[in-house]
Amino acid sequence: MVNLALVYHLRRVFALGADGIGLAASIGPATYLVFCILLAPYTIHYRPRHLVQLSLAGMGFSVFLFVSTHTLVVAYIALALYGAFMSLLWPQIEGWFSRGKEGAGLNRVANAFNFSWSFGVGVSSYIAGLLVELSTTMPFYVSLLLFAVVYLIIFISSALVPGIRAVQSEHSDNKANAKVDQSTPLRFYAWAGIIALYSGMSVILTIFPLYAQDELGISESQTGLLLLIRGVATCLSFLALGRLEFWHFKKRYIFLVQILFALFCLLAAGFTSPIPYAFFFLVFGFLFAFAYDQSMFHGASGSINRSHRMIIHEVLLTIGTILGAVGGGYIYEKLSFSRLLLVVASSALVLVSIEMAIACVWRQRKQ
């Protein structure tokens, strides 16, 4: 909800263009990336629920600061704080639920988590589109309410459920169980893929709403509905992938997802009306879910430092987010949305070609 509302709020309140909005939208992801890296040696010593609660409180404060100001510098500071506090959220949750799980068990729990957040993103995009038509500040106040509700749920659940209170820090858990690392090298290909797919996601969430308003001439609520299609496709894909194991430890599926993403971006470069974009978002939702699953599953499999692996996963998807927002905003401002999709597609094809070449060299060396 915050991400979509941010685009319209920056345009209406601060009168920023596409390149300025892309730059502003990348501030949070940039500080998120930096603090994920800086805090990694320290967060393993704290219980996950405490870090998640601190994150929710800090993100709530940051959103309140952003929506309360009409000074651009203060807005930038608020966005930076938002990203910094978010660095305590996702890696901790992902490391928490995946702890001690491998194979089919890891796949099921990862996809249950992925379904929950993707469902929230999809529904919130549509709701944000409706609320923005009333006021660009309304989605932020609703987000504040949601932060407070989730904080209270964690607080009450921790008080009532002993198992939640008993979860130790990752450092303590590893010392107690003397685990051995059995990581798979396939994670590197999957990590490259998440950069590509998240750059596409960033273009869709940050730049497409501007294009839809400027060129397609559709309303904010209609844009939210298109984004909801992507969200629903992603949710359903996570549910399906949670029950399927054919793609586990198979690099050909990692490459296939990236190739299909590039080809559909090339196809979408010729679209000029909302209905074809609805089809594109449907397909992208599936491919995005597959790439996200591949990165999370192969990154976590066999690892004893789950939170560190999830930090790497989050850092790489954040790099993709920044590339999509900043680069996408600049290219759209200077050229067009079609040219932007061509650049995204070409970059994805180059990336997967390099991955496949490395895989061939690696296989020959092993023979």
| Domain assignment present for 170 | no
Residues constituting the chain: 367
Contact criterion met (CB below 8 Å) for 128 and 224: yes
| Domain assignment present for 45 | yes
Q: What is the mean pLDDT of the chain?
A: 92
| Domain assignment present for 177 | no
Greatest extent of the chain over all pairs of C-alpha atoms, in Å:
64
Inform me whether the pLDDT recorded for 166 exceeds 80: no
Helix and strand element counts for the chain (H, E): 18, 0
Inform me whether the pLDDT recorded for 169 exceeds 80: no
Across the range 282-306, mean pLDDT stands at 94
Across 21-30, 119-128, 142-151, 328-337, least confident range: 119-128
pLDDT-based confidence at residue 100 (cuts at 50, 70, 90) = confident
Task: Give the pLDDT of residue 52.
Answer: 95
Across the range 324-342, mean pLDDT stands at 95
What does the alpha-carbon distance between residue 213 and residue 137 come to, in Å, rounded to a whole number?
19
What does the alpha-carbon distance between residue 196 and residue 114 come to, in Å, rounded to a whole number?
19
Task: Give the pLDDT of residue 353.
Answer: 98
Percent of the chain scoring above 90 in pLDDT? 74
Task: Give the pLDDT of residue 305.
Answer: 83
What does the alpha-carbon distance between residue 281 and residue 264 come to, in Å, rounded to a whole number?
10
Across the range 11-25, mean pLDDT stands at 93
- 351 lies in which domain range? 2-161+183-366
Q: How many domains does the chain have?
A: 1
Residue 288 in tokens = 């995005």
pLDDT in tens, 48-89: 999 999 999 999 999 999 999 999 999 999 999 999 999 999
What does the alpha-carbon distance between residue 291 and residue 254 come to, in Å, rounded to a whole number?
7
Domain CATH code at residue 79 = 1.20.1250.20
| Domain assignment present for 225 | yes
pLDDT-based confidence at residue 361 (cuts at 50, 70, 90) = very high
* Amino acid (one-letter) located at 61: F
| Domain assignment present for 172 | no
Residue-wise burial string across 28-66, b where 16 or more C-beta atoms lie within 10 A, e elsewhere:
bbbbbbbbbeebbeebbebbbbebbbbbbebbbbbbbbb
Handedness of CA 359, 190, 279, 204 (dihedral sign): negative
Inform me whether the pLDDT recorded for 176 exceeds 70: no
pLDDT in tens, 233-292: 999 999 999 999 999 999 999 999 999 999 999 999 999 999 999 999 999 999 999 999
Task: Give the pLDDT of residue 178.
Answer: 62
Residue-wise burial string across 135-153, b where 16 or more C-beta atoms lie within 10 A, e elsewhere:
ebbbbbebbbebbeeebee
Residue 58 in tokens = 């800090």
pLDDT-based confidence at residue 117 (cuts at 50, 70, 90) = confident
> Of the segments 93-102, 118-127, 187-196, 237-246, which one has the largest average pLDDT value?
187-196
pLDDT-based confidence at residue 161 (cuts at 50, 70, 90) = confident
Across the range 191-219, mean pLDDT stands at 94
CB atoms within 10 A of CB 158: 17
| Domain assignment present for 273 | yes
- Which residues, including other chains, have CB under 8 Å from residue 113's CB and lie 6 or more apart? 93, 94, 97
Inform me whether the pLDDT recorded for 18 exceeds 70: yes
